Amino acid sequence: MYIIIVGAGDIGSPLIEIATRSGNEVVVIEQDDERANRAADAYDCLVIDADATTKETLADAGAERADAIISTTDQDATNIMVCLLAKEFDIPSILSVVHNPEHMGVFEQIGVNTMENPQQLIAEYLYRAVARPAIVDYMRIGDEAEVFEITVTENAPIAGKTLQEAARSGDLTDDMLVVAIEREEESQPITPRGDTVIREGDLLTVYSAVGADPEITDIFGHYEDRID
């Protein structure tokens, strides 16, 4: 793909690394001289040291043939302007970081895919690592629902039961679904079925419509997540 990345800061730099490492043709626009020079030295891509909120700069970056543009600056106003200009070039995929939730509606009105406040997401992830250490990884869906990974312990109420038995006993409620099972001796993830037995040590990918509070992690034997 031909990707234009606006901004080579804390968010843009890792993105540039991933995009170039994956074999994409990448052009970076960065107005700060120091950041632009650092990106040019570090990554195999064209770096344009200019203001991305002008049509001329986007034209110089090859916007007319770009498959995607991602705006990662720390200013929502700048990101909005970049996205509006990108619309004029008919770039198929336009994405932007949004720092202030109050601005989300503006991005939605112009039809831009967004990531809301990455710093907040990182903070929530770090807090979850401390407050819910049993959860290996997670992704929030909507306001409450989550998909998370968790290991089954020896004392878990669900251990040794089939999924059907766990549902009948009330360990697994209608709000929960085991999506995948990773088992040490299996080379591929197991697709769960009603007669699949949950074993100690299994790494489960779980969907929970009510999140992953301690009442949920108890089911998998992680009582240490309870705060006294």
Write down all domains in the chain, each with its CATH number in brackets.
Answer: 2-116 (3.40.50.720), 132-225 (3.30.70.1450)
Q: Which residues lie across from 27 on neighbouring strands?
A: 4, 46
The arithmetic mean of pLDDT across residues 195-218, rounded, is: 90
* Strand residue runs (E) in the chain: 2-6, 25-29, 46-48, 68-71, 93-98, 113-116, 135-141, 145-151, 176-182, 203-208
pLDDT of residue 125: 66
| CA 109 and chain centroid, separation | 22
* More confidently predicted of 130 and 4: 4
Look at residue 225 and tell me whether its pLDDT is greater than 70. Answer: no
**Other CB atoms within 10 Å distance of the CB of residue 18:** 11
Look at residue 200 and tell me whether its pLDDT is greater than 50. Answer: yes
Helices (runs of H) and strands (runs of E) counted in the chain: 8, 10
The arithmetic mean of pLDDT across residues 34-57, rounded, is: 97
* More confidently predicted of 120 and 92: 92
pLDDT of residue 119: 66
The arithmetic mean of pLDDT across residues 14-43, rounded, is: 96
- Residue 99's pLDDT band, with cuts at 50, 70 and 90, is confident
- Residue 228's pLDDT band, with cuts at 50, 70 and 90, is very low
Greatest pairwise CA separation for the chain in angstroms = 65
Q: Which residue has the tokens 């700069």?
A: 57
CA distances from 24 to 3, 153, 190 (A): 7, 42, 33
The model carries a pTM of: 0.64
* More confidently predicted of 118 and 192: 192
pLDDT of residue 135: 80
Alpha-carbon Rg for the chain in angstroms:
23
pLDDT of residue 104: 86
Amino acid at 194: G
Look at residue 226 and tell me whether its pLDDT is greater than 60. Answer: no
Look at residue 196 and tell me whether its pLDDT is greater than 80. Answer: yes
Q: Is 155 helix (H, G, I), strand (E, B) or coil?
A: coil
Contact 80, 47 (CB under 8 A): no
* More confidently predicted of 131 and 94: 94
Show the CA angle centred on residue 145, arms to residues 106 and 105, nearest 5°: 5
**Other CB atoms within 10 Å distance of the CB of residue 115:** 13
Crossing angle of helices 12-21 and 33-42, rounded to 10° = 20
Distance CA 142, CA 175 (A): 14
The arithmetic mean of pLDDT across residues 42-61, rounded, is: 97
Instruction: Give the best-scoring range by mean pLDDT among 33-37, 103-107, 147-151.
Output: 33-37
Look at residue 36 and tell me whether its pLDDT is greater than 90. Answer: yes
pLDDT tens-place string over residues 123-167:
666 666 666 677 877 777 777 888 989 999 999 999 999 999 999
CA distances from 190 to 7, 169, 178, 204 (A): 41, 23, 11, 10
